[in-house]
């Protein structure tokens, strides 16, 4: 558990399922090894065991049984409100989109042994006649950049929203074991490929020093959670430990236990719990602290009192990764409590549970609207939005809304190339703050104390609204801050995000770049000229093919990232396709999508369309002017509006008739 203990910290329920999955997979491996010793040849698990045998091993390993559709029909409340785990959103396929199920495969996995060995596991293995290049070498020669260009159209908030909303859709936990199962090797120190250790090799270290970077494989999914669309039933699949839906699980959590821990159960207004120790200068609440103390978050070394500011608790455990994420989480905590208080005043007869669920429903709708209306078209471009998503035509129960492996592991990681190396903090005039200087990105990781002691969330929010987004550039892909100085708690080495992403794609056995271009109906790469045309840079195309030797060997994350951007988008053709397809199924396969029949009245829908991130910031912070669309970069003050001119949602649309009369006697 020492590797990625914070960055990849999963809920206890997920850890339990992951351990069961690893027991299941290791059991199958033990059986295969015994057969190999006896018969002197390898056999696939499907040749050794019947379906009944496999189901029994899964049950004995502790994998949870599948949910029967009949259970969904018995839960009347599931007609009105989502389950916290996403279970029974689809009545016939209860696990579709739910937490702790396998990421779906849109193309078959490419394991080296057809079952679980990642691409690059066996060093002698050739792909199209060549070995795959080490990911660290690819990062150093192609990805690293000391300078990143700026995007004149958009603010850094566009980048930060992408990370925030990614945390609402996918979370793939790493293996819960810290040592190799059968060999006992420590994954922090071994350079051998022994499950679950898949270290990133390095050829440029000095002789005698460590020649690899630690890497844990993603936790496998349990056999019993596989659906028909996840691939071969006995292939290793990876887990999405949170709900796939755009449902604000990032605010509320994805398990009943986590949900309860985040609520103020004594509140008649159905409010979320707030921090008992600290408030901002205007008395606004901060997120509560985590219950397990002392937490792993870093502390202010210059604080004379030495008072600890612990990690904040939110619906997603990654809320403390950076100050911008923490600030967005804080906004939505305040927004829930603001709406809940108003709904209770309008409907005094509502129970705390009704207020909570109705507020959660509104906040979920806001997440969907801001993401699909204001964010996605800017990322994939208006033409791709029309081609892959199109207008809403209602809920379709035949669509599986589960997050796909390629989306989670490659396509939606396009944003890693737009990470800014400097976090600016701005004052009320959107100028450099007099007291809070700009921060190198690695000095903002896991530092919630900076929110409490350095002016609250406002300087951070103004910084990302008032700073141009980092642009994607084919020859300047990744900031050195994340290829040289990535901080992962409890690992003494600095990590390389580009190398981690490519290694993760190989760990998940994702097919190569050309396979995915074919999947999207795009022209496949055959020559250096083809690649040069697609990325618009001959020199980079030459470097890539010099390393990979064959176009079919190119890692999908790298290939998608270097493509020339489509007009009006921030992604190339491949990632626009994959992100567009994912967003469409998240919308059309969600029974509780805000536009679905019966979710809201026409009057309520009309009010919800007024939702904007600008208004959320106005209502829950000290910021009084900002652009109408804060994802677009505007100059201060000429392109800013006063909050008085940014329309709010009128919650009167949620008033029930009963509240218009006298209160009932209790």
Active-site residue list: 167
Is the backbone of residue 120 left (phi > 0), alpha (psi -120 to 50) or beta? left
The verdict on whether residue 416 carries a ligand-binding annotation is yes
- For the chain, the residue count is 666
Distance (Å, rounded) from C-alpha 271 to C-alpha 251? 12
Query: Given this model, what pLDDT does residue 303 score?
Result: 81
Is it true that the peptide bond before 196 is cis, omega within 30 degrees of 0? yes
Query: Given this model, what pLDDT does residue 471 score?
Result: 83
pLDDT tens digits, one per residue of 158-175: 999 999 999 999 999 998
- Asked if 1 contacts 202 with a C-beta cutoff of 8 angstroms, the reply is no
| Domain membership flag for residue 247 | yes
Query: Given this model, what pLDDT does residue 229 score?
Result: 41
Query: Given this model, what pLDDT does residue 480 score?
Result: 62
| Domain membership flag for residue 227 | yes
**Terminal CA-to-CA distance of the chain, rounded, Å?**
52
- Asked if 296 contacts 489 with a C-beta cutoff of 8 angstroms, the reply is yes
| Domain membership flag for residue 203 | no
Query: Given this model, what pLDDT does residue 657 score?
Result: 80
Query: Given this model, what pLDDT does residue 145 score?
Result: 57
Query: Given this model, what pLDDT does residue 663 score?
Result: 47
Strand bridging mode 144-145 / 478-479: parallel
For 200, the 3-state DSSP assignment is: strand
Distance (Å, rounded) from C-alpha 237 to C-alpha 101? 9
Half-sphere exposure (CA, 13 Å, Cβ side) for 416?
27
Q: Which two tokens stand for residue 251?
A: 């605010």
The CATH number assigned to the domain holding 421 equals: 1.10.640.10
Is it true that the peptide bond before 68 is cis, omega within 30 degrees of 0? no
| Domain membership flag for residue 4 | no
Contacts of 261 (CB under 8 A, 6+ apart): 253, 273, 291, 313
Query: Given this model, what pLDDT does residue 147 score?
Result: 60
| Domain membership flag for residue 201 | no
Distance (Å, rounded) from C-alpha 382 to C-alpha 460? 30
Taking CA atoms, 252 is separated from 82, 94, 291, in Å, by 12, 20, 16
Q: Which domain holds residue 633?
A: 12-173+218-658
Is the backbone of residue 466 left (phi > 0), alpha (psi -120 to 50) or beta? alpha
For helices 613-620 and 323-346, give the axis angle rounded to 10 degrees: 80
| Domain membership flag for residue 320 | yes
| Domain membership flag for residue 202 | no
For 179, the 3-state DSSP assignment is: strand
Sign of the alpha-carbon torsion through 11, 17, 23, 25: negative
| Domain membership flag for residue 26 | yes
DSSP letter (8 states) at residue 418: G
Number of domains the chain is built from: 1
pLDDT beneath 70: ranges in the chain: 1-9, 75-77, 145-148, 203-210, 224-233, 474-476, 479-494, 658-666
Q: Which two tokens stand for residue 576?
A: 């626009």
Taking CA atoms, 509 is separated from 99, 112, 203, 385, 649, in Å, by 22, 8, 23, 28, 46
Query: Given this model, what pLDDT does residue 579 score?
Result: 98
Taking CA atoms, 468 is separated from 56, 576, 632, in Å, by 56, 22, 9
Taking CA atoms, 173 is separated from 14, 44, 49, 376, 592, in Å, by 8, 27, 29, 25, 26
Distance (Å, rounded) from C-alpha 444 to C-alpha 449? 10
Query: Given this model, what pLDDT does residue 666 score?
Result: 31
Q: Which two tokens stand for residue 561?
A: 């990232």
């Amino acid at each position: 558990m020492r590797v990625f203990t914070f960055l990849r910290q999963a809920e206890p329920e997920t850890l339990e399922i992951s351990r069961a999955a690893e027991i299941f997979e290791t059991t199958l491996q033990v059986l295969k090894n015994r057969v190999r010793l006896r018969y002197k040849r390898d056999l696939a698990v499907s040749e050794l065991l019947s379906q009944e045998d496999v189901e029994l091993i899964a049950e004995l390993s502790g994998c949870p049984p599948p949910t029967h559709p009949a259970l969904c029909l018995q839960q009347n409340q599931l007609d009105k409100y989502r389950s916290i785990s996403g279970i029974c959103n689809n009545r016939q396929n209860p696990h579709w989109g739910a937490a702790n199920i396998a990421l779906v495969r849109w193309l078959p996995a490419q394991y080296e042994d057809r079952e679980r060995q990642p691409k690059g596991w066996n060093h002698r293995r050739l792909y199209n006649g060549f070995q795959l290049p080490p990911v660290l070498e690819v990062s150093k020669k192609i990805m690293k950049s000391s300078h990143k260009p700026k995007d004149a159209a958009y603010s850094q908030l566009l980048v930060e929203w992408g990370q925030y909303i990614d945390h609402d859709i996918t979370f793939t936990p790493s293996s819960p074991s810290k040592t190799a199962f059968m060999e006992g090797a420590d994954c922090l120190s071994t350079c051998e490929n022994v499950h679950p250790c898949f270290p990133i090799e390095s050829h440029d270290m000095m002789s005698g020093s460590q020649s690899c970077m630690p890497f844990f494989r993603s936790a496998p999914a349990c056999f019993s959670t596989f659906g028909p669309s996840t691939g071969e039933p006995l292939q290793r699949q990876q887990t999405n430990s949170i709900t796939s839906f755009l449902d604000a699980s990032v605010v509320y959590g994805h398990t009943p236990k986590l949900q309860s821990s985040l609520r103020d159960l004594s509140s008649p207004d159905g409010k979320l719990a707030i921090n008992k120790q600290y408030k901002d200068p205007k008395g606004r609440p901060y997120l509560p602290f985590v219950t397990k103390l002392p937490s792993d978050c870093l502390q202010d070394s210059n604080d004379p009192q030495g008072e600890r500011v612990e990690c904040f608790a939110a619906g997603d455990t990654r809320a403390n990764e950076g100050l911008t994420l923490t600030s967005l989480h804080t906004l939505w905590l305040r927004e829930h409590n603001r709406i809940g208080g108003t709904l209770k005043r309008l409907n005094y007869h509502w129970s705390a549970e009704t207020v909570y669920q109705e507020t959660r429903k509104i906040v979920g709708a806001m997440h969907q609207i801001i993401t699909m209306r204001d964010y996605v078209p800017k990322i994939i471009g208006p033409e791709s939005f029309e081609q892959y998503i199109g207008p809403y035509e209602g809920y379709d129960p035949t669509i599986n809304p589960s997050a796909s492996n390629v989306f989670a592991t490659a396509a939606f990681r396009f944003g890693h190339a737009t990470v800014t190396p400097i976090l600016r903090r701005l004052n009320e005039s959107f100028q450099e703050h007099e007291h809070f200087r700009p921060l190198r990105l690695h000095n903002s990781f896991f530092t919630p104390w900076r929110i409490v002691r350095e002016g609250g969330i406002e300087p951070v929010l103004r910084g990302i609204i008032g700073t141009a987004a980092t642009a994607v550039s084919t020859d300047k892909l990744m900031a050195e801050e994340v290829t040289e100085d990535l901080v992962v708690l409890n690992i003494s080495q600095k990590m390389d995000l580009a190398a981690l992403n490519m290694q993760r794609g190989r760990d998940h056995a994702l097919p190569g770049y050309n396979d995915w271009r074919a999947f999207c109906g795009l022209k496949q790469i055959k020559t250096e000229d083809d690649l040069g045309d697609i990325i618009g840079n001959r020199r980079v195309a030459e470097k890539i093919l010099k390393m990979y030797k064959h176009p079919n060997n190119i890692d999908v994350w790298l290939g998608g990232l270097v493509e020339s951007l489509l007009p009006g988008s921030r992604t190339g053709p491949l990632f626009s396709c994959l992100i567009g397809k994912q967003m469409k199924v998240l919308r059309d396969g969600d029974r509780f999508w805000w536009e679905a029949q019966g979710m809201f009245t026409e009057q309520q829908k009309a009010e919800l369309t007024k939702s904007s991130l600008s208004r959320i910031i106005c209502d829950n912070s000290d910021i009084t002017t900002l652009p109408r669309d804060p994802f677009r970069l505007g100059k201060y003050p000429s392109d800013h509006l006063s909050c008085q001119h940014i329309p709010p949602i009128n919650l009167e649309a949620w008033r029930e008739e009963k509240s218009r009369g006298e209160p009932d006697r209790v």
